[in-house]
Structure 1
Amino acid sequence: MNLTTQKRLAADILKVGVNRIWIDPERIDEVSRAITRDGVKQLIKDGAIKAKPKKGISSYRSKKIAQQKKKGRRRGPGSIKGAKGARRPKKDEWMTTIRALRKDLKEMRDNREINKSTYRKLYKMAKGGAFKSKSYMKTYARDHDMLR
């Protein structure tokens, strides 16, 4: 029996796709006799026609990948997209470095390890990019007898 019309009407009434319409196999004769919208509505009410539930997207794979990434997997060179400067911009690196240097300089000044003029000199040097890390700056200060 051809039930395309009934399926189409039911899909329209239930506001789902045609493929999600389920017709009770034991009541096919009854369904085939329903040719109006009202007839199909009555069958829906009786339970002869139903809408199948939506199929979801399983999150199993994404959870598994997230778990692996947490362990440090899947981070090889083949997974890297974008240039070095795109993944961590130069400006961000500079800001991190200069903030650390300036914080260290202030601590050294407050703890009286260096005087104001030395502080100012090292501050300007740091701004000019003379030191790439705190340890380099401290080594420079030690080598040039700037520490008290």
Structure 2
Amino acid sequence: MQVVVNLKAKKRLAARVTGVGVHRIRFDSDHLDDIADAITRENIRSLITANTIKIKSFTGTSKGRAHEKKSQKNKRGTTQGSKQGRKGARVGKKEVYVAKVRSLRRLLKIAKDRKDLTNPEFWALYKKVGGNTVRNKAHLRLLMDEIREKRKD
């Protein structure tokens, strides 16, 4: 009959040597005496190469469900007929306003840099853009044309 030896310290040492967790260390039940005799790190390393001490492979979190969910999400259409909710529910009023104001201000800046607008004219239109008086780019171009016409008169 074989005497059961407490190999907890050996397991800890093997874990330290290999740099893995204690729970991943497995001992070969036929060579427990050899493992009990191993007292140095070098002994442990030689037992690992001899496959007396085995390291269980690492098990990570499965991505299967995540992949499945992503593929489902990609199948859902965003075409007309598949959308639910008002336009304002999908894209907020503020986001629409910010995008519009930025594009109009960019247009104004270009016109000012080209010397199409004088500084006071630029600021008059800039304030109109900020106050949401200008509807869109076409409207802004129309207002700029009106300003140019007035200047010629």
Q: Give the TM bin, normalised by the shorter chain.
A: 0.5 to 0.7
The 1-side partners of 2:92 and 2:71 are apart by 24
Among candidates 128, 131, 147, match of residue 128 of structure 1 = 131
Give the aligned residue type for 1:5: A
Give the aligned residue type for 1:65: K
Structure 1 residues 25 and 100: alpha-carbon distance in aligned structure 2, compared to 1, 3 A threshold: same
How far the C-alpha of 1:103 sits from its partner, in A, is: 9.2
The 1-side partners of 2:92 and 2:13 are apart by 57
Among candidates 97, 102, 112, match of residue 100 of structure 2 = 97
The 2-side partners of 1:103 and 1:68 are apart by 40
The aligned residue for residue 65 of structure 1 is 69
How far the C-alpha of 1:12 sits from its partner, in A, is: 1.3
Structure 2: tracts of 5 or more residues without a match: 78-88, 108-121, 147-153
How far the C-alpha of 1:11 sits from its partner, in A, is: 0.9
TM-score of the pair, normalised by structure 1? 0.53
CA RMSD of aligned residues (A): 4.4
Superposition map of 1:1-148 within 5 A: 1=4, 2-32=6-36, 34-37=37-40, 38-72=42-76, 90=94, 92-98=95-101, 125-130=128-133, 134=136
Alignment coverage as a number of residue pairs: 121
Structure 1 residues 40 and 101: alpha-carbon distance in aligned structure 2, compared to 1, 3 A threshold: closer
Give the SS at the match of 2:96. helix
